Amino acid sequence: MFDVKEIVANSLAPLIPSFNKNSLYDMLEYPPNPEMGDVALPCFKLSKVYKKAPALIADELLKNIPQSEYFEKVEAVSGYLNFFINKSLFIKTVIGEILDKDTKYGASDIGNGKNVVIDYSAPNIAKPFHVGHLRSTSIGNALYKIFEFMGYNCIGVNHLGDWGTQFGKLIVAYKKWGDAKRIEQNGIKELMDIYVRFHTEAEKDPTLDDEARAWFAKMEHGDEEALKLWQWFKDISLKEFKRIYDLMGIKFDSYAGESFYNDKMEAVIEELKEKDLLKESQGAMIVDLDEYDMPPCMILKKDGSSLYATRDIAAAIYRKNEYNFDKCIYVTAAAQALHFKQWFKVVELMEYDWAKDLVHVPFGLVSLGGEKLATRKGKVVLLEDILNKAMEKTLETIEAKNPNLEGKEEIAREMGVGAVIFSDLSANRIKDVSFSWDEILNFDGETGPYVQYTHARACSVLKKADEEVNSAFNSELLDSKEEYQLAKTLKLFPERVIQAMEDLEPSIITRYLVDLAQAFNRFYNTHSILVDDNDLRTARLAMVKSTKITLANGLKLIGLSTPERV
């Protein structure tokens, strides 16, 4: 596209033979205010080589620089060479490209032929889906969409926590205090209750723990009754999880959870033995990581049962064989950083060269009005409650603003859920986020509803105009600073998407969308669009349409819907 620095560097290169084009490119700066042009060359760096004052160099360059359609003017001011680009050509190029590429604007094919596995969401069976899982779900889903937009083939895996000693406890709890009917009715909440009760009672009666261990051992040995109960707990939990995924519009390519690897661990343990990596320690089997300043990675417990890390290693090997991934990305809370570091190291010690392609994407905690949202002591804030509340509140706002809106319930769902996801993706993922209803649902703040509302506003202008908008428009009529600023912002989208992918950071897109919505609204509030002058109207509509395209492409990348009316 119209890369301003590239164009300036190209025209300077023949005049400054001591520097190559790339180093000139790097020397260029974006001036702090528009009176100093769009790009500037500071001549101080040249003055050493040429042994001349910067101001003199700037004057000489100015005299010799050839005329170009790309520049409106060039000025030499106090040692800087300031380039003012041809704004109308710039707008023409940028807007023309967006209108041509449409839903593909910002997309790329750099990932063609490559597979990326993204492991995200991964709630635990019989435990609530809480806001911590929301972060994993929204970040993972956004990364999925971003990589896909860059041409990669993505495989989204929901590595459910569906195996482990806790199921032994749950079976004991169920057998002692469970009520099948109530569990069918109340689902995970009921399972949680009996699970919490198990812990209170086991404090008084430790034999309960032995019973639980025995039941888990039965599960591991394929006992029919144990597995039937486990499957039932799993079905009940999945029903609830899927309800949330449906609300959020999220899908997975695989639901292979921890239990999927039960029959694949034996081979891993054999391999670890063969490679001389396993060591006994107090009856357990470990991989010693002392040399790497890490605690040992536990592979088998004293009683021979496997662990979270064992299953992760088996899963990684399985995924490499099954999907031949270019990268395998794990999205979890930062609290699990050591776990990933440890078993990534084990895979490396197993001499798999693809160990370097395993990536942990950590994120910070979520709090609600400053309160930490922990699972313990039953003080959980369930994601489903949050989503429902967001939808209700959005519906209230719509009722107040636009009570006759058609399909308002569905739009309230799209915007309510969008508000929650957007807020979750607003800050750098590693930062802790605090959740405040007033902030996330504000139609005028830096929020999902604000961006969606701006998108709908663009849609409604286009609908009202009801005319064909394409790249045949006269960009010379778009000569205001708001129009130029909007075009400059629109042009940034493709590089922001690449940056979001490289940094595994969806917040780059979220923040970009706020900037774009603001630039559009400044334009919209300053200029009438549906004016009588045909050429001017068509030109402004071209800006509106390219904004609509870019907002929609960006919203989809972070997993938000793009309602056309609100």
Binding site for ligand ARG (CB under 6 A): 119, 122-124, 159, 161, 312, 330, 332
Partners of 82 in beta bridges: 40, 75
Closer residue to ligand ARG in complex, CB, 123/554: 123
Q: Are 191 and 183 in contact (CB under 8 A)?
A: yes
Report the nearest approach of ligand ARG to the CB of residue 329 (Å). 10
Catalytic residue among 87, 130, 393, 408: 130
Closer residue to ligand ARG in complex, CB, 56/333: 333
Three-state SS string over 325-376 comes to CCEEEEEEEHHHHHHHHHHHHHHHHCCCHHHHHEEEEEECCEEECCEECCCH
Distance, CA of 142 to CA of 504 (rounded, Å): 9
Catalytic residue among 87, 92, 133, 455: 133
Beta strands in 349-491, from DSSP E residues, in sequence order: 358-363, 366-368, 371-372, 433-435
Distance, CA of 43 to CA of 79 (rounded, Å): 5
Report the nearest approach of ligand ARG to the CB of residue 377 (Å). 18
> What is the identity of the amino acid at 416?
G
Q: Are 48 and 56 in contact (CB under 8 A)?
A: no
Q: Is residue 130 annotated as a catalytic residue, yes or no?
A: yes
Catalytic residue among 127, 159, 393, 408: 127
Secondary structure tally for the chain: helices H, strands E = 22, 13
Partners of 332 in beta bridges: 362
Q: Are 559 and 145 in contact (CB under 8 A)?
A: yes
Closer residue to ligand ARG in complex, CB, 87/429: 429
Three-state SS string over 515-564 comes to HHHHHHHHHHHHCCCCCCCHHHHHHHHHHHHHHHHHHHHHHHHCCCCCCC
Report the nearest approach of ligand ARG to the CB of residue 230 (Å). 16
Report the nearest approach of ligand ARG to the CB of residue 290 (Å). 23
Report the nearest approach of ligand ARG to the CB of residue 315 (Å). 6
Q: Are 153 and 115 in contact (CB under 8 A)?
A: yes
Closer residue to ligand ARG in complex, CB, 141/332: 332
For residue 417 the two structure tokens come to 């859920």
Closer residue to ligand ARG in complex, CB, 96/123: 123
Distance, CA of 307 to CA of 310 (rounded, Å): 5
Report the nearest approach of ligand ARG to the CB of residue 330 (Å). 5
Closer residue to ligand ARG in complex, CB, 236/555: 236
Report the nearest approach of ligand ARG to the CB of residue 192 (Å). 14
Distance, CA of 473 to CA of 477 (rounded, Å): 9
Closer residue to ligand ARG in complex, CB, 312/357: 312
Catalytic residues: 127, 130, 133
